[in-house]
Amino acid sequence: MTNIASEQQRNPDEGQEYLDILEPLMEAGDLNRAAECIKQSWCGGKLCTFLTHGEPEVRRAAVMGLTLVGNIQAIGPLVAALHDTDLRVYELAQDALWTIWFRAGNAQACCHLKCGAHHLKHGNLDTATEKFNLAVQADPGFAEAYNQRAIAGYLAERYADSIEDCRRTLAIIPQHFGAMAGMGHCHAHLGHFSDARRYYYKTLEINPRMDGIAASLEKILALLEKPAA
C-alpha cells in the first residue's frame, strides 16, 4: 500500500502553496512584490490551472494573480471562471478580464486609451473619441480601444458606428461580454428587438450574472410578445 504521507510529499498541493505565499503579500498591499513572486514561480498557465482548484480561496488567489500579471492567454480560463459557484471568484474574474483587456495594447495605445477613458468618464465624448481613434491607430489589434470607442458612440447616439466598433471588438475577443452587451443596447435603441434579444442572450451565456442585461432582456421579451397595434 502506498504511504499517503510520502505520496503527498511527492505531489504537493501547488495551489495551496501558491495561496500561502501570495495571501500575506496581498493583505499587506505589496502588489509589486506579489507580481514579481508570481512571475518567478508561477507562469500564467500555471495560474490558470489553479482556477479549477477545489478550494475557493485558491481560485480567488489565482484570479488576483492573473489580474496582476495575466495576458490575453488567460481570457478563456477567466471567462470560464465567470461561471464559478463562488460569487467572489466571479466578481474577481470579471474585474480581471477588464484589467487584462485594458492593458492588451502596446504602450502608446494604452496611454491613449487611459486618457480617452478619463474623458469618457467626465462626459467629454468628442475628446474621448479622438483619444480612442489614436489608440486604434497606434495598435489596430487593440480590442478595448474599439470597445471604448463603441461606448462613446453609443452615448452620443451614433448607434450604427457603435455597432461596428462592437463587431471589431468581438472579432478580436469573441468572449468580450461588454461589447456583446453593447450590441444588444444599440439594436434595442434602433428598434431591432430580435437582434437585441439575440445579443443579450449571448452576453448572458458568457457572463451569466449581469443583472442589468437580464433586466434589459426581460424588457425586450415583453416588447416582442406585445401584440402589434
Judged by average pLDDT, the poorest of 24-28, 146-150, 171-175 is 24-28
Distance CA 97, CA 104 (A): 10
Answering whether pTM is above 0.85, one says yes
In a domain, 168, yes or no: no
97 lies in the same domain as 48: yes
- Tens-place pLDDT, residues 62-96: 999 999 999 999 999 999 999 999 999 999 999 99
Residue 26 maps to a domain: yes
Same structural domain for residues 28 and 53?
A: yes
Q: Check whether residue 65 and residue 41 sit in a common domain.
A: yes
CB atoms within 10 A of CB 84: 19
> What is the enclosing helix (H) or strand (E) of 131?
helix 125-138
Q: How confident is the model at residue 163 (pLDDT cuts 50, 70, 90)?
A: very high
175 in Cβ contact with 76 (< 8 Å): yes
Work out the pLDDT band at 29, boundaries 50, 70, 90: confident
Cell 504537493 locates to 12
Spatial neighbors of 129 by CB under 8 A, at least 6 apart, are: 116, 149, 152, 153, 156
Give the H or E element holding residue 165: helix 159-172
Provide the Cα torsion 31, 35, 36, 41; round to 10°: 130
pLDDT value at 190 more than 80: yes
Answer whether residue 165 is part of any domain.
no
Mean pLDDT of 25-40: 86
The CATH number covering residue 221 comes to: 1.25.40
Mean pLDDT of 46-73: 94
Domain containing residue 25: CATH number = 1.25.10.10
Let me know if residue 152 belongs to a domain: yes
Q: Are 15 and 62 in contact (CB under 8 A)?
A: yes
Helices (H) and strands (E) in the chain, counts: 14, 0
Identify whether residues 179 and 205 lie together within a single domain: yes
Single out the residue of 122, 66, 124 nearest to residue 97, CA to CA.
66
131 with 203, same domain? no
Domain that holds residue 122: 105-158
Give the lowest-confidence range in 14-23, 48-57, 76-85, 202-211.
Answer: 14-23
210 in the same domain as 141: no
Cβ within 8 Å of residue 110, ≥6 positions away: 102, 103, 135, 142
Q: What percent of the chain has pLDDT over 70?
A: 93
Q: What is the pLDDT of residue 22?
A: 85
pLDDT of residue 6: 36
All three cell numbers of 176: 468580450
Q: Structural domain tally of the chain? A: 3
Please state the rounded mean pLDDT for residues 152-164: 98
Top-confidence residue, 31 or 78: 78
If you search the block for the grid coordinates 478550494, which residue do you land on?
Answer: 55
In a domain, 229, yes or no: yes
Q: Quick one: 91 and 144 in the same domain?
A: no
Spatial separation of the C-alpha atoms in residues 144 and 207, rounded to whole Å: 17
Contact 105, 131 (CB under 8 A): no
Q: Please check whether residues 96 and 109 belong to one and the same domain.
A: no
> Of 64, 75, 62, 134, nearest to 104 (Cα)?
75
Do the Cβ atoms of 61 and 26 come closer than 8 Å? Answer: yes
- What span, in angstroms and rounded, lies between the C-alpha atoms of 57 and 53? 9
Composition of the chain by helix, strand, coil, percent to 5: 75, 0, 25
Residues 21 and 95 in one domain: yes
Instruction: List all residues 6 or more positions away from 163 whose beta carbon is below 8 Å from its beta carbon.
Output: 150, 182, 183, 186, 187
